Chain A
């Protein structure tokens, strides 16, 4: 009987001690996964626009057409963040951050990150829809 108790105590101690060891982060914690690369390609598109300001204004116009409220913009960094309420349910929010970056070959790289209630949206269709609206807005801006 005493031996059994001793055994139990030993096991309990072991469990305790093990609990003290912090879990080690794995080596590939910050390494890009394949899914991340895929989502990045979905979120990014390049357009034939030379002027960053024109591109930014087109992004803002596209977001406004889609019913988004522009929350923040930074011309120097090419950032636009916007949000909209997921009407008709009044508690959900869709947020989006768009970055506009000029590339060496004179094209403009536009990247959009969308979130739905703080969870990232990974559906490629969402980004296709956004870029379709943006394309139209850029076309209007060019005229």
Chain B
């Protein structure tokens, strides 16, 4: 009886472990257009009535410089530009959470278990990738598409006796429409042209 129980428990543990191996999203899906693709595209894209693609590209670089970015890569022939800036990622909310968890878990230190210290976000790199392309064969209309994203590095922490080393990374696309609107309004002021959306 006991042995049967043990086998069942063993099977469950192995099953759980195998389940953890299955990726949540298959790479296949990353090459498929999704429902959000078109709305993201609309948010990231504006069109300008101009023939001067190079002027738009250099104006984009200036706008990004104005908001503290450093240009990392540029290819004029295909209208591409990538810029980045590094900033602190400290947030009060995370520090308050960290303190509260530390406070509650410090009760366990009576029995010799060290308190829990949650790692907080320390540093981030925000980057922007800009692509400009002509929309018609006479290239009188240009499309500007920008994507913002960031990588966040976490600090050290501890869960009981287990130390969590610093440097864990988290990556995300930035999908705040206000950020994109601000970029395009600055760009339109820089080139003296009115942008229009899709």
Contacts and interface: CB of A to CB of B under 8 A. Distances in A.
Do the two chains bind? yes
B133 A126 contact: no
Contact of B133 (A57, A116, A127): A57
Q: Name A's interface SS.
A: mixed
A42 interface: no
B131 A125 contact: no
Interface string A113-126: 01010000101011
Contacts of A66: 30-33, 37
Interface string A49-69: 000010011001100111101
Contacts of B129: 69-71
Interface size class of A (residues with CB under 8 A): 35 or more
Contacts of A39: none
Given A66-B33, A70-B80, A85-B172, A116 B27 contact: yes
A99 interface: no
Contacts of A105: none
A73 B75 contact: yes
B31 A114 contact: yes
A57 B78 contact: yes
Interface in B58-85: 73, 75, 77-80, 82
B85 to A, nearest CB: 15
Contacts of A80: 78
B133 A61 contact: yes
Interface in B4-56: 23-25, 27-28, 30-34, 37, 40-41, 44
A90 interface: yes
A64 B32 CA distance: 12
Contacts of B25: 86-89
A84 B25 CA distance: 13
A3 interface: no
B172 A60 contact: no
B37 A114 contact: no
B78 A60 contact: yes
A89 B27 CA distance: 12
A53 to B, nearest CB: 6
Given A85-B172, A90-B170, A129-B32, A64 B145 contact: yes
B169 interface: yes
B71 to A, nearest CB: 13
Contacts of B28: 123, 125-126, 129
11 contacts: A57-B79, A67-B30, A72-B73, A73-B75, A73-B80, A76-B77, A90-B170, A116-B27, A121-B27, A129-B31, A133-B32
Given A60-B133, A67-B30, A72-B82, 19 more contacts: A56-B78, A60-B131, A61-B133, A65-B41, A66-B30, A67-B40, A67-B173, A69-B127, A69-B129, A69-B173, A71-B82, A75-B75, A75-B77, A75-B78, A80-B78, A85-B173, A87-B173, A116-B27, A126-B30
Interface of B: 23-25, 27-28, 30-34, 37, 40-41, 44, 73, 75, 77-80, 82, 127, 129, 131, 133, 145, 147, 149, 169-173
The 7 A-B residue pairs with the shortest CB-CB distance, nearest first, are A75-B77, A129-B31, A116-B27, A85-B171, A73-B75, A130-B31, A90-B170
